[in-house]
């Protein structure tokens, strides 16, 4: 994300060093889902419009069905126009995380970074999240940052950091990268 400059080696997207990519262009290709969901006091639909200004209702509903939010939203008095964090709608940690995942899915960036997002999820939400990761990995580059290696499955590569060094873990052997 170019928050810090690297001094040795290169970080590439395809064959292009990220030092050669303007930060605005780079940010258009990467979505980050942090372990802390940022939910604003606005409607559900506005949360999606901030991510993609021309989002359609059909897209919003499709994504919300995928993350198991649609039925909950439709049970609210104003549906997708219900204001979150109002007296009518308070989201649990798991529901907030589902909304955050849905925003990432609407953006549809080629590179998606998930940072410790399983921490606040209930069992049902974890299953939804894992299915979404599996589906996304077919067409996107997925980077998962976690301390919980048990949440890692079906990945092309697992990199571990130990004592400041990066290692490729291919299950049968660990080699320094």
Which CATH number do you get for residue 71?
Answer: 3.40.50.300
Residue 171 confidence (pLDDT) above 60: no
Q: Decide if 164 is inside a domain.
A: no
173 has a pLDDT exceeding 60: no
At residue 82, does pLDDT exceed 60? yes
Q: Hey, which residues does 105 pair with through a beta bridge? A: none
Summarised one tens digit per residue, pLDDT across range 90-145 is 887 778 888 988 998 899 888 988 888 776 677 777 777 777 778 878 888 888 88
Q: State pLDDT tens for residues 9-38.
A: 788 888 888 888 888 888 888 988 887 777
pTM above 0.75, yes or no: yes
114/53 Cα distance (integer angstroms): 23
Q: What was the pLDDT predicted at 177?
A: 47
Domain range for 49: 12-146
Tell me if 17 is assigned to some domain: yes
Asked whether residue 6 is assigned to any structural domain, the reply reads no
> How many structural domains comprise the chain?
1
> Are the C-beta atoms of residues 76 and 107 closer than 8 Å to each other?
no
């Amino acid at each position: 994300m170019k928050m810090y400059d690297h001094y040795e080696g290169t970080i590439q997207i395809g064959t292009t060093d990220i030092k050669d990519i303007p930060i605005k262009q780079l940010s258009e290709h990467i979505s980050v889902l942090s372990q802390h969901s940022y939910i604003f006091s606005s409607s559900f639909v506005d949360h999606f419009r901030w991510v993609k200004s021309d989002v359609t209702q059909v897209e919003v509903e499709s994504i919300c069905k995928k993350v198991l939010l649609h039925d909950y939203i439709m049970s609210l008095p104003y549906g997708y126009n219900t204001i979150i964090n109002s007296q009518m709608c308070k989201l649990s940690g798991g529901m907030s995380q589902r909304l955050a995942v849905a925003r990432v899915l609407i953006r549809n960036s080629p590179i998606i970074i998930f940072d410790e997002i399983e921490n606040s999820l209930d069992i049902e939400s974890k299953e939804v999240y894992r299915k979404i990761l599996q589906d996304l990995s077919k067409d996107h580059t997925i980077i998962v940052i976690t301390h919980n290696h048990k949440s890692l499955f079906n990945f092309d590569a697992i990199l571990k950091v130990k004592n400041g060094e990066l290692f490729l873990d291919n299950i049968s052997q660990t080699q320094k990268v």
